[in-house]
Chain A
Amino acid sequence: MALIEMIGVRKTYRTDGLELHAFSTDRLEIDRGEFVCIAGPSGSGKTTILNLIGAIDFPTAGSVTVAGRKTRGLSPADAAKMRRDHIGFIFQSYNLIPVLTAYENVEYVLLLKGLPAPERRRKVSEALASVGLKDMMQKLPKEMSGGQQQRVAVARAIVASPPIVLADEPTANLDSVTGRDLVGLLHRLNLEQGTTFVFSSHDPVIIEHADRVITLQDGRVANDRRC
């Protein structure tokens, strides 16, 4: 069974009485360890797919199964627990908790999971070291550059070793060199840890590293290419 399965999925939004078709697919599967880029123009449904996989949004019809569990019908609390246990998120605008240091931001997820302090210390140190920020542990987000903040966000996404990391245009706010470094880092983590990465991006650097590119057009899969 694939790690992520979308069967007969349709997602529509209703705004001011108008129904807006955001995404639909008959079947889409992503296996464990894939490094997938979902590409397409703005409004093609890239973020909608990530939201559906990440259980922060739910399909209007059909089913999304993540790590063997259907997301539809989950209570808000169960959906939160599922995200906590199975998914790491990297957002376009870093989105760290501004009042917590880099260390605390990364530790947050482990605290939610209830890990003991020594294990938390070890994992957070390893995660920050893996993104090259071991010396920035006590810095607040506002004291770091955009690239450093995004690397903290990566550390936060991978620290609990989730099977899936979802990254919504993670390089959009970074300069090309920083963006390239970040993608290289994520690819390395994918290879070393077998974590499944699903990106939404039209950044050529990500597309270049991806071993599968799903191209969307008007809310539908226009092309699904393995590289």
Chain B
Amino acid sequence: MKTFLLFSHIAFRNVRRNARRSLFTILAIAFGLFCLIIFQALKVGLHREMVISTVQLDAGTLQIHAAGYEVNLAALKQVPDPGKVISALRMLGETRFSRRVKTSGLILSGGKSASLLLSGVDPDAEPGVTFISGKVVKGWYVSRNSGILLGEELAKSFGVQPGDEVTLMSQDMAGLPVTGRFPVTGIYRTELAAFDRSHAFMSIGLLQEFLHADGVVTEIALRSDSRDETALADSLGRSLPGKDYQIRTWKEIAPDVIQLIGLNDATMQLLILIVFAIIAMGITNTMTMVVFERFRELGIISAIGTTPSGILTMVVMESFCLGAAASLLGSAAAVAACAYLGRYGIDLTTFTSANQYFANSHVLKAHLLAKDLIAANAVTLITAVIGGIYPAWKASRLKPVDAIAHI
């Protein structure tokens, strides 16, 4: 232990010995670490935004349907005994859920028409599940037995405002066509124009009445921010035995999001590998120069009784000291940058058009996780040690007689 401290002490002082070279090495490693922490924090922020957009735009954490439900099913497929599902959710301690009726339809106004997905939602419960109620830009959100909430893009293309009327066509429970005129009560705008063009909302009671589907519920959506969706789905499945229900997590509803997250993670891992390989080569280069410069000095150290393992420890410790200094510097800079990017973010409209993964906001904010910061630092230190091993091994194998004769 004493000799380890001695070697650490010498290593630390050796780092200061050629201050300029050490500084450049430290800056290079710190910059690599800084970039990785920022990229990782932005990636986490991106994934959070993607999940929020998926869960809070429409999907919720879980959706419960009747068994055999399909998204594009034209006929209404009723959830059997919705009260039983709601009781099961309450038993699990969940409170943020909403009953829905969803059907496809046609909207007509002033000689124009468009197909859309019509959602009848519970005006009191739905804001706890999705963020649409917070995106109303004109008029008001869905209320009982009033009119229809349209997306801004759709309203614009139809030239309608709150107070105007539109005609809706769909098919009822029996599969017969139904038509009705509804006042536009509000206009909402997400960051996703395609969603706004194709989704309209009204109260569940009004839609049930329009579709002659009194008391019918086709979907129950649940939002749970704190619990693992798969575990929650399993618990709910145990509470609802039999084959009457189909419970799906948002990951099953939107597998493309999971695939994209997986792709991002893999890309990031590749990037990490490349950056740390560069860092390792930089450290190896620096430490090789150090060993070459101190060839004679290492020979003397060996001659006065330092074992090869002691010399190896000394050189690796110096490499570790470089890594540790770079870790401190890179982490401090990255934490400060993440704090800024976490608050103000990066406006993605500068780089890309709106897409389905940014329905809530077009600003990408960094989200730095403690585990990512710790992992990045641990990998930096490990890389520093690995980078120092080869030159340290070379140093430990030098023959003192050759080293002392070296000029």
Q: Which of B297, B306, B400, B404 contacts A112 (CB 8 A)?
A: B306
* B contact residues around A109 at 8 Å (CB): 304-305
* A contact residues around B6 at 8 Å (CB): 108, 111-112
| Residue among B2, B16, B399 with most chain A CB within 10 A | B2
Q: Does B302 contact A (CB under 8 A)?
A: yes
CB 8 Å contact bits of B297-318 with A (1 = contact, 0 = none): 1001111111111100000000
17 extra interface residue pairs, beta carbon distance < 8 Å, beyond A56-B303, A112-B304: A51-B401, A54-B303, A56-B302, A56-B399, A56-B401, A56-B404, A76-B397, A80-B306, A80-B307, A81-B307, A85-B305, A95-B297, A95-B300, A100-B13, A108-B6, A111-B3, A112-B310
Contact B17 A98 (CB under 8 A): yes
Q: Which residue of chain B has the shortest Cβ distance to A99 in the bound complex?
A: B13
- Cα A108 to Cα B308 in complex, Å, equals 16
Q: Does A83 contact B (CB under 8 A)?
A: yes
Q: Does A103 contact B (CB under 8 A)?
A: no
CB 8 Å contact bits of B121-138 with A (1 = contact, 0 = none): 000000000000000000
Q: Which of A57, A77, A104, A108 contacts B304 (CB 8 A)?
A: A108
Contact B3 A112 (CB under 8 A): yes
* B contact residues around A76 at 8 Å (CB): 307-308, 397
Q: Does A191 contact B (CB under 8 A)?
A: no
CB 8 Å contact bits of B322-366 with A (1 = contact, 0 = none): 000000000000000000000000000000000000000000000
Contact B301 A97 (CB under 8 A): yes
Q: List 8 A-B contacts (CB under 8 A).
A: A56-B400, A89-B300, A89-B303, A95-B300, A97-B301, A98-B17, A99-B13, A112-B310
The A interface, classified by DSSP as helix, strand, loop or mixed, is helix
CB 8 Å contact bits of A142-175 with B (1 = contact, 0 = none): 0000000000000010000000000000000000
Contact B305 A80 (CB under 8 A): yes
Q: Does B264 contact A (CB under 8 A)?
A: no
Q: Which residue of chain A has the shortest Cβ distance to B299 in the bound complex?
A: A56
Contact B10 A100 (CB under 8 A): yes
Contact A97 B10 (CB under 8 A): yes
Contact A77 B13 (CB under 8 A): no
Q: Which residue of chain B has the shortest Cβ distance to A156 in the bound complex?
A: B304
Interchain residue pairs A-B with the least CB separation, the first 8: A84-B305, A99-B13, A57-B401, A56-B400, A95-B300, A80-B307, A77-B307, A111-B6
Q: Does B224 contact A (CB under 8 A)?
A: no
| Residue among A80, A89, A104 with most chain B CB within 10 A | A80
